[in-house]
Amino acid sequence: AVETSTTTSALDEVSSTNATAAENVHSVLILDAIGGTMIVVSRAPQAHLMSFSGAVLKTYRHDNPHAAPQGSSNFCAATVSPSNRWLYVATEGGDCLCFDIGTGALEKTIRDFALESSHNSAEITGLLHHPHKTLLGSYSNAKGQKRGLLTLWK
């Protein structure tokens, strides 16, 4: 319980300093390659690499969240590659961002990712990475889309 309260306090502090105090955490991704760390993702234009004790070690940010329409740069789904080298994040605006976990650099942006994944502009609900192949999967629970549609990206 002590670990949880420490991490929660650290997230509250990070949220307060970045003006995202009311944002909900939707993904906590444990990193095997970097022991004792996790990536915490909330509905904000950034994600955080944190230690289990709650220290923020690195922040992954959308390139220019202020240039995007209000809220469309917020992160809505995330996954990491099995090697723990890449962080993939879907935004509310429909893009998929690929960050190098080690450097924090945004390496690639896939525009219209949601449109290509769900055949409409619905928000991506979840991302997943195949454990042995270079396949990225995405899905959405939007009402305008067939439930259970999984799109695979090579």
Within 10 angstroms of residue 33's Cβ, the number of other Cβ atoms is: 13
Cα 7 from chain centroid (whole Å): 18
Which helix (H) or strand (E) segment holds residue 11: the answer is helix 2-17
Q: Which residues contact 5 (CB under 8 A, 6 or more apart)?
A: none
- In terms of residue numbers, what domain contains 58? 2-153
pTM: 0.78
Task: List 31's β-bridge partners, or say none.
Answer: 37
SS3 114: helix
| pLDDT confidence bin for 117, thresholds 50/70/90 | low
Q: Which residue has the tokens 């990475």?
A: 129
| Digit-coded pLDDT (tens) for 61-95 | 987 655 555 557 899 899 999 999 999 999 988 88
Write the CATH number for 56. 2.130.10.10
Which helix (H) or strand (E) segment holds residue 115: the answer is helix 113-118
Look at the chain and report how many structural domains it folds into. 1
